Structure 1
Amino acid sequence: MVICIKRLSFAGFAVTLATTAMAADLPAPVIEHIPQVPVAAAGGWYLRGDIGYKLYNDPKGGFVDSSTVGDLRYERESIDDTWMIGVGVGYQFNDYFRSDLTLDYEAKATARGYAVCGTCSTNFSEERTDLDIWTVMLNGYVDLGTWYNLTPYVGAGVGASYIRASNTISINPGSTAATYDKDNGEFNFAWALMAGASYAVNQNLSIDAGYQYRDLGKARTTAYTATGNGRSEFKDITAHEIRLGMRYTFDSAAPAYYAPEPIMSNF
């Protein structure tokens, strides 16, 4: 019996030595970590600046003088194309929604219309005035996702426009042109629809290229006569804008990171 127990003890000791030797030949365990992945901050304030080119649609125009001859509809109305510049401040609420308040100035563009003139040699007089426009707009945007730093978006805006008519001229062929130097300004409800895409140069700076359709209201010139009745009016002033701008976002909070999780490997 004693001999049997001794043999079992030697056998167990031998197995232990063999296991230890095999373990010594194995490589040391490798501990790997998942790299830290930055998560965009939930929101942030930003400043923006834009330049662009404005292509006006043909408005509706006429001579308005209800106290005498009544309204006279123009023909072949048009507004020259022009450029614009704008600034704004906004807030990025999350990855998909942002909003900003913008102020745009649209440089002078000449509006023209031709009125029937029975006493004119060409049967039409030319009525024209220069329009320059200020617009304040509250805009909302939906960002549609980001691919390789490129983020397409759609949006809409509502606000007010101030349209100033100046350098008003009435030209009757064969006679001296009448010039009216006094300006006249009109406040209007304005709205816009927009689409475009931004490219993130880095965490804070983005380049924005977009299109806007704008409805700006109407413009009226100063009165043509001393009684203050007759004036030109251009309604349904709408335009297509091609815009290029930059946005600078201020960090609202330090970037967050996922906590690293170790992965244990025996080989």
Structure 2
Amino acid sequence: MAIARISTLAAALGASLLMPVCAFAADLAEQPYVEPLPVATGGWYLRGDIGYKFYNSPNIAFVTPTYTDPWNNTSLDNTWMLGAGVGYKFNDYFRADATVDYEFNAGAYGEGYCGGCGGLGYSIETADISAWTMLLNGYIDLGTYAGLTPYVGAGIGTSYLETSNISYINPNGVTGTWNGAGQWNFAWALMAGASYAITPNTALDLSYRYLNLGDAVSGYIPAGGGGTIQYNNIDANEIRLGLRYSFY
């Protein structure tokens, strides 16, 4: 009899303990499913760059209304550049930015025929050329491998090329200077590189860029019938190191 009572009490106690557990389990089963928010893969970023430019030899000539005198042994010195920009990453594969770069003075050199020197030879002609470049760029990121994200890109925009310190030395020893001038051009670029995320919001960027800047021109020169020195087809190969800071 006592054993029967104890069994009955134990069964009742067990049932009372299981009831809230079952009710809680039922409540859990009835909870609506909430989809997790997607991880952000796009947003705004800032960038800054420093680079070194290897200029190709431009075509330089003294141009008048009646004739053109192409120069020999032309060259344009290598120089440094600084840049900054703002961009937007649309997804894991495409981003775009607008950039402004300043290219420091590069020394131009050429040898022009000296018509008033009695056939003694060529004049040594020099000048400094600086550049501002403003481009709208697009990039395709090619995936991330061991922390590195390689990419390719292209850009179009405008450049402002300014000449200064234009001078000459004739073969007879006569020297002189001419005024410089500025000129706007269409500019374009092709680039390839790789970035590495050093923090969740900061990436180190190493890249190569080919940049076509257009043409530069001197001020008006009254000698030789009157004309200008034209520095045509100015382009460069660049090695650039930059940082990108993202806000996503």
- Tell me, yes or no, if structure 1 residue 114 matches structure 2 residue 136: no
- Point out where structure 1 has 5 or more consecutive residues left out of the alignment: 1-36, 252-267
Distance 2:231 2:44 in 1: 38
User: RMSD across aligned C-alpha pairs, in angstroms?
Assistant: 2.0
Aligned equivalent of 2:186: 189
TM-fit CA distance, 1:193 = 0.2
TM-score (norm 2): 0.81
Aligned equivalent of 1:129: 127
**Which residue, 155, 158, 176 being the options, matches 1:157?**
155
Aligned equivalent of 2:4: none
Regions of 4+ moved over 3 Å: 37-40, 226-229
Aligned residue identity for 2:52: Y
TM-fit CA distance, 1:80 = 0.3
Larger C-alpha radius of gyration, 1 or 2? 1
RCO comparison, higher one (Cα < 8 Å, 6+): 1
Does the C-alpha gap of structure 1 residues 228 and 73 become closer, same or farther in structure 2, counting only changes over 3 Å?
closer
TM-fit CA distance, 1:201 = 0.8
- Point out where structure 2 has 5 or more consecutive residues left out of the alignment: 1-35
Number of aligned residues: 212
Aligned equivalent of 1:60: 59
**Which residue, 94, 98, 101 being the options, matches 1:101?**
98
5 Å-filtered alignment, 1:213-252, equals 213-225=210-222, 229-251=226-248
Whether the 8 Å CA contact 1:125–1:173 is kept in 2: the answer is yes
- Tell me, yes or no, if structure 1 residue 142 matches structure 2 residue 120: no
TM-score (norm 1): 0.75
Whether the 8 Å CA contact 2:134–2:157 is kept in 1: the answer is yes
Deviates more, 1:150-159 or 1:118-127: 118-127
TM-fit CA distance, 1:122 = 5.5
Whether the 8 Å CA contact 1:154–1:196 is kept in 2: the answer is yes
TM-fit CA distance, 1:101 = 0.1
Aligned residue identity for 2:136: L
Q: What whole-Å deviation, never above 9, does each CA across 1:27-72 have from its counterpart, x for those lacking one?
A: xxxxxxxxxx9965131100000000000001111001115xx110
Percent of pairs identical after alignment?
Answer: 51
TM-fit CA distance, 1:89 = 0.2
